[in-house]
Amino acid sequence: MAFFDKLNSFAKNVGDKTKEAMEISRLNTKIRTEKAAIEAAYKKLGEHFYDKHTAGEVYDEAAEEIFAAIDASNSAIADLEAEIARIRAEREASRAAAPAPASAPTHSIPAGTPCPACGKLIPPGAKFCGGCGNSVASEPEHPVQDNLACPNCGKLNPSGTKFCGDCGTMLEGLQVDKQQEIKKTEEPEEPVKQEAPEASKEPDKPVVPEAPDIPETSEEPDKSEEPLEPAEKVCPSCGIELPDDSKFCGNCGTKIE
């Protein structure tokens, strides 16, 4: 029983001390609150008498040093605020005098050069305009005629075309003959015009030097037409892929139907 009595006594002492500590803490809190109220009252009292001193209504020789320290601090604060205003004004003036940064372009410039004939943009490296077929490559020393008439159907084909775009007749040999005729016309010593009477005897036949070779190529039109039926917008002459709006091949000048 003595053990339990000691245990109860110890617990009672601990509880009493805890209760005492809590009560002391509560009282100290009230004391701090009252001291804060006194500090606020002193502040109001000092401000009241300082205002009276500034107005010349109160004069206290013992308080003159305190009033002078307050005046010096107020003057220093005014000088510091003026310095801040000056720095801000200089910063705004420098910003206003600085040139405005160049604005970035809102749209990208399309690549390519305009065609001199129709104005359509031609991609870099293209030899012919995709809108009108105009040649944009450097002109050769002996320019060839722009169009070749097919000896089988009479359709005009762009210069350099190997097969007729309408019937598939081979035109590669005619292209060489045309170039030879142009070279002959540029030489004044050879009388090329004397062959005109022979051509007039047969007006129904086109003026083609190697007309007998034409039936051999026209006997198999189906084979020659096979390369002319590729996928959509693929050049039938050179096989290069073309844009959807192209009317002529940009690589070889072939007209796209």
Write out pLDDT tens, residues 187-204: 555 544 444 444 444 445
Residue with tokens 């609150």: 33
**Beta pairing class for 121-122 and 113-114:** antiparallel
The structure tokens listed for 131 are: 């809108």
4: pLDDT strictly greater than 70: no
pLDDT at 81: 93
Nearest CA to 120 among 238, 257, 243? 243
228 pLDDT tier (thresholds 50, 70, 90) = very low
In a domain, 158, yes or no: yes
3-state secondary structure of 133: coil
Residue with tokens 């009479």: 154
Nearest CA to 250 among 99, 134, 95? 134
CB atoms within 10 A of CB 167: 16
In a domain, 250, yes or no: no
pLDDT at 59: 81
Q: Is residue 16 packed enough to be buried (19+ CB in 10 Å), middle (13-18) or exposed (0-12)?
A: exposed
Which of 28, 45, 62 is at the close of a domain? 45
In a domain, 248, yes or no: no
Distance from chain centroid for Cα 72? 61
Is the distance from CB of 147 to CB of 138 less than 8 angstroms? Answer: no
63 pLDDT tier (thresholds 50, 70, 90) = confident
Distance from chain centroid for Cα 67? 68
pLDDT at 110: 56
125 pLDDT tier (thresholds 50, 70, 90) = confident
- If you average pLDDT over every residue of the chain, what do you get? 73
In a domain, 75, yes or no: no
Give 221-228 contacts, CB < 8 A, sequence gap 24+.
221/167, 221/168, 221/169, 224/163, 224/168, 224/169, 224/170, 225/168, 227/163, 228/163, 228/165, 228/168
User: How far apart (Å, rounded) are the C-alpha atoms in residues 166 and 155?
Assistant: 7
> What percent of the chain lies above the pLDDT cut of 70?
67
Nearest CA to 155 among 165, 163, 145? 165
In a domain, 28, yes or no: yes
pTM for the full predicted model: 0.29
Query: Residue 154 region, left (φ>0) first, then alpha (ψ -120 to 50), else beta?
Result: left
Amino acid identity of residue 12, one-letter, is: K
DSSP E strands in 172-226: the ranges are: none
Q: H or E element: which one contains 44?
A: helix 2-54
Structurally, how many domains does the chain consist of? 2
Domain that holds residue 14: 1-45
In a domain, 187, yes or no: yes
In a domain, 10, yes or no: yes
In a domain, 180, yes or no: yes
